[in-house]
Structure 1
Amino acid sequence: MSESDVTRGGLRGARPGRDAVTGAQDAGRSRRGRRRRGRGRGEQPMVPEARFSSYYGRPILNKPTWQALDIAGYLFLGGLAGASSLLAAGGQASGRPGLARVAKLGAAGAISGSLGALVHDLGRPARFLNMLRVFKPTSPMSMGSWLLAGYAPLTMAAAAADVTGRARVAGAGATAAAACLGPAVATYTAVLLSDTAVPSWHEGYRELPFVFAGSASSAAAGLALACAPAGQTAPARRMAVLGAGLELGAFQLMKRRMGLVAEPFEQGGPHRLLRAAELLTAGGAALAAYPGTGRRRGRACAVAAGVALLTGSAALRFGVFHAGVASAEDPRYTVVPQRERLRARTG
Structure 2
Amino acid sequence: MSESEVTRAGLTGGRPGRDALFGNGQGDGSGAPDGGPDGGRSEGRAARRHRAREESPGFTSYYGRPVVKAPAWSPADIAGYLFLGGLAGAGSVLAAGAGLTGRPHTARAMKLGSVGAISLSAAALIHDLGRPERFHHMLRVAKPTSPMSVGSWLLAVYGPLSGAAALSDLTGRAPRAGRAATCGAAVLGPAVAAYTGVLLADTALPAWHAAHRHLPRLFAASAASAASGLALVAGPRAEHAPARRAAVLGTAAELAVLSGLHREAGGVAETYREGTAGRLLRAARRLSVAGAACAALSGTRAAGRLARPAATLGGLALLAGSACTRLGVFHAGLASARDPKYTLRPQRERLATRAEAPGCGAAPPG
- Which TM bucket (shorter chain)? 0.7 to 0.9
Whole-angstrom distance in 2 between the partners of 1:8 and 1:253: 67
Greater share of residues in helix: 1
Give the Å deviation of 1:96: 0.4
1:310 counterpart = 2:319: yes
Tell me which residue corresponds to 1:282: 289
Give the Å deviation of 1:342: 1.8
Structure 1 residues 158-188: Cα deviation after superposition (integer angstroms, max 9, x where no partner): 0000111111111010000000000000000
Are the structure 2 counterparts of residues 319 and 10 from structure 1 closer, same or farther at C-alpha, using a change threshold of 3 Å? closer
Whole-angstrom distance in 2 between the partners of 1:163 and 1:156: 11
Within the candidate set 165, 171, 194, 1:164 is matched to 171
Give the Å deviation of 1:266: 1.2
Contact residue 230 and residue 296 of structure 1 kept, 8 A = no
Structure 1 residues 25-63: Cα deviation after superposition (integer angstroms, max 9, x where no partner): 95199x9xxxxxxxxxxxxxxxx9755411011111111
Within the candidate set 117, 124, 128, 1:110 is matched to 117
Within the candidate set 87, 90, 97, 1:83 is matched to 90
Structure 1 residues 108-149: Cα deviation after superposition (integer angstroms, max 9, x where no partner): 000000000000001444322000011111100000000100
SS of structure 1 residue aligned to 2:30: helix
Tell me which residue corresponds to 1:326: 335
Whole-angstrom distance in 2 between the partners of 1:265 and 1:203: 11
Contact residue 89 and residue 100 of structure 1 kept, 8 A = yes
Stretch moving more, 67-76 or 48-57: 48-57
Tell me which residue corresponds to 1:42: none
SS of structure 1 residue aligned to 2:300: helix
Contact residue 219 and residue 309 of structure 1 kept, 8 A = yes
RMSD between superposed Cα atoms in Å: 2.6
Normalised by the size of structure 2, how large is the TM-score?
0.83
Within the candidate set 190, 194, 219, 1:187 is matched to 194
Tell me which residue corresponds to 1:203: 210
Within the candidate set 147, 151, 173, 2:180 is matched to 173
Q: What letter corresponds to residue 126 of structure 1 in structure 2? A: E
Tell me which residue corresponds to 2:240: 233
Tell me which residue corresponds to 2:300: 292
Identical amino acids, percent of aligned pairs: 56
Within the candidate set 2, 27, 30, 1:27 is matched to 30
Contact residue 108 and residue 152 of structure 1 kept, 8 A = yes
Contact residue 70 and residue 118 of structure 1 kept, 8 A = yes
Q: How many residues align?
A: 324
Whole-angstrom distance in 2 between the partners of 1:323 and 1:170: 43
SS of structure 1 residue aligned to 2:203: coil
Within the candidate set 2, 5, 8, 1:15 is matched to 8
Q: What letter corresponds to residue 203 of structure 2 in structure 1? A: T
Are the structure 2 counterparts of residues 204 and 25 from structure 1 closer, same or farther at C-alpha, using a change threshold of 3 Å? closer
Whole-angstrom distance in 1 between the partners of 2:255 and 2:56: 36
Are the structure 2 counterparts of residues 103 and 295 from structure 1 closer, same or farther at C-alpha, using a change threshold of 3 Å? farther
Are the structure 2 counterparts of residues 8 and 157 from structure 1 closer, same or farther at C-alpha, using a change threshold of 3 Å? closer
SS of structure 1 residue aligned to 2:349: helix
SS of structure 1 residue aligned to 2:10: helix
Contact residue 5 and residue 13 of structure 2 kept, 8 A = no
Q: What letter corresponds to residue 340 of structure 2 in structure 1? A: P
Whole-angstrom distance in 1 between the partners of 2:340 and 2:272: 16
Tell me which residue corresponds to 2:352: 343
Contact residue 4 and residue 11 of structure 2 kept, 8 A = no
Contact residue 231 and residue 296 of structure 1 kept, 8 A = no
Tell me which residue corresponds to 1:38: none
Contact residue 162 and residue 182 of structure 2 kept, 8 A = yes
Stretch moving more, 49-58 or 231-240: 49-58
Matches within 5 A, 1:57-136: 57-136=64-143
1:224 counterpart = 2:216: no
Whole-angstrom distance in 2 between the partners of 1:321 and 1:193: 9
Whole-angstrom distance in 1 between the partners of 2:348 and 2:307: 56
Structure 1 residues 62-105: Cα deviation after superposition (integer angstroms, max 9, x where no partner): 11100000000000000000000000000010010011011101
Tell me which residue corresponds to 2:359: none
Structure 2: 5+ residue stretches without partners: 15-21, 35-54, 357-366
Are the structure 2 counterparts of residues 52 and 18 from structure 1 closer, same or farther at C-alpha, using a change threshold of 3 Å? closer
Q: What letter corresponds to residue 283 of structure 2 in structure 1? A: A
Tell me which residue corresponds to 1:39: none
